[in-house]
Amino acid sequence: MARHSIAGGSGSILVIGLGRFGGAVADSLIRLGHEVLAIDEDPAIVQSWAGRLTHVVQADTTSTDTLKRLGAADFEKAVVGIGTDIEASLMTVLALSELRVPDIWAKALSEKHGRLLERTGAHHVIHPEATMGERVAHLVTGQMIDFIEFDDGFAIVKTRAPKESLNRTLAESALRSKYGVTVVGVKRPKADFTYARPETVIRPGDLLIVSGATHLVERFAALE
């Protein structure tokens, strides 16, 4: 099978398993502007997602050779959302690990499953009852370190400071007027959290706590 053209792109994510969780991650990644190669072994599920994602493929992801043919080794990030088959989940993570995918996220069905995923090669283990697919999509990509969305379309994020704000005060960079978000606080490495003030100077390595409408904080966190 030919490799897909999106493989290797910095904004491309591999999502394996399109159940409720994997589908939520894939859908959110597309909405955030990322290209997605999604794989599921159920042809009916693949058909239902056709046209909604960048590429959808029906395949057995427990096979290292199959994943290699699909270009999985060219992806920097992969999310394994296989829902009910623990063996398939573990074998898929192992295959990705053997292909040296550098950032593997995997859904755990239990604490024990999570420990096995870590031993098999997962870099991040996700417990969906505590972490929704959309939040994972934010964390897997870009600048966001953490993301909390409320029911009314309001969100709070912890994100790396964009380059345009570095070595300037918040008043000088005017982030609020440019992007419609509020910088609530600043966390500097090896220093206590401080509430943001107009005279606060943002330094390289600072993390910002930012609040605002979800779509606005998403756009802000995508800044480099």
Close Cβ partners of 174 (under 8 Å, ≥ 6 residues apart): none
> Residue 168's beta-bridge partner residues?
202
pTM: 0.61
Strand order in the sheet with 77-80: 55-58, 35-40, 12-16, 77-80, 103-107, 124-126
Paired strand residues for 158: 146, 209
**Per-residue pLDDT at 120:** 94
| DSSP structural state of residue 123 | S
Percentage of residues in the chain with pLDDT exceeding 90?
51
Q: What is the pLDDT of residues 168-196, one digit of tens each?
A: 999 999 999 999 999 999 988 888 888 99
Residues β-bridged to residue 163: none
Query: Which of 20, 162, 15 minimizes the C-alpha distance to 96?
Result: 15
Pairing of strands 207-213, 35-40: unpaired
Residue 12 near residue 32, CB atoms below 8 Å: no
pLDDT at residue 69 tops 50: yes
Share of the chain above pLDDT 70, in %: 86
**Burial of residue 44, with CB atoms counted within 10 A of its CB: 0-12 exposed, 13-18 middle, 19 or more buried:** exposed
d(CA 63, CA 88): 10
Q: Which of 126, 154, 123 is nearest to 24 (CA)?
A: 126
